[in-house]
Copies of this chain bind each other. A is one copy, B any other.
């Protein structure tokens, strides 16, 4: 299994995907084309074009999953890239097109998977740690489960001069842990998780990530940290809704 789960696709002052060229090349391992899943945004053509431009320096062709039957395109893909946008819209589309099951099966079988933002969030067992607004109602919050931990992309620290009364990101993730016993990796901008079979590593810029686990203080982790132990997590989610 080969995964690259990025917090985001742009680092300040860099071009699209430029901050991750090296690890993208490594993850793609010489494939000629990537099938891009643009469903988290509304304009699929424009979004696919942006990704094609971003990956052009790597010599990789990009095929939009919306340009034919998405299930067929992913069944014969050499690699998939799931882009960011609204996670609820993405999850709804993954169920509607049948891609949720197809991607899961093909990635288990070795298909390289690249995610950014919403595309990274859905690599966890559920979308319960997305930052996005629930603008549409997907049939389920369950997602690809390519790693057994939750991911919070775009993790952001509380501002020092806080006046706004909304919750901080840390407070939201602690509320998640009140209801569910599953570790959460909060990926700051410019960072990513890399999985190669049984090995899980944090990569990217120095800001690193913040790890949240029930019963422990949240703690910062640095790029290069080996997180492989998290792959033996047995997630326990609140299942009140299923008990109805």
Q: Which residues of A contact B (CB under 8 A)?
A: 8, 10, 12, 42, 85-86, 89, 92, 95-96, 127-141, 154, 156, 163-167, 172-173, 175-176, 178-180, 189, 238, 240-241, 244
Q: Is the CB of B156 within 8 A of A166?
A: yes
Protomer copies: 2
Q: B residues within 8 A CB of A175?
A: 42, 85-86, 89, 133, 135
Q: Is the CB of B241 within 8 A of A92?
A: yes
By beta carbon, the residue of chain B nearest A135 is B176
Q: Is the CB of B139 within 8 A of A134?
A: no
Give Cα A164 to B96, complex, Å.
32
By beta carbon, the residue of chain B nearest A89 is B179
A133 and B139 contact, Cβ closer than 8 Å, known pairs A165-B189, A189-B164: no
The residue in A8, A42, A136 that gathers the most chain B C-beta atoms within 10 A of its C-beta is A136
Give Cα A163 to B166, complex, Å.
19
Give Cα A62 to B206, complex, Å.
50
Distance between A85 CB and nearest chain B CB, rounded to angstroms = 8
By beta carbon, the residue of chain B nearest A169 is B133
For the complex of A and B, list the 3 residue pairs with the smallest distance between their C-beta atoms, beginning with the closest: A135-B176, A154-B166, A133-B172
Q: B residues within 8 A CB of A166?
A: 131, 154, 156
A244 and B139 contact, Cβ closer than 8 Å, known pairs A8-B165, A10-B165, A89-B179: yes
Give Cα A95 to B243, complex, Å.
12
Q: Is the CB of B136 within 8 A of A129?
A: no
The residue in A85, A135, A137 that gathers the most chain B C-beta atoms within 10 A of its C-beta is A135
Q: Is the CB of A136 within 8 A of B42?
A: no
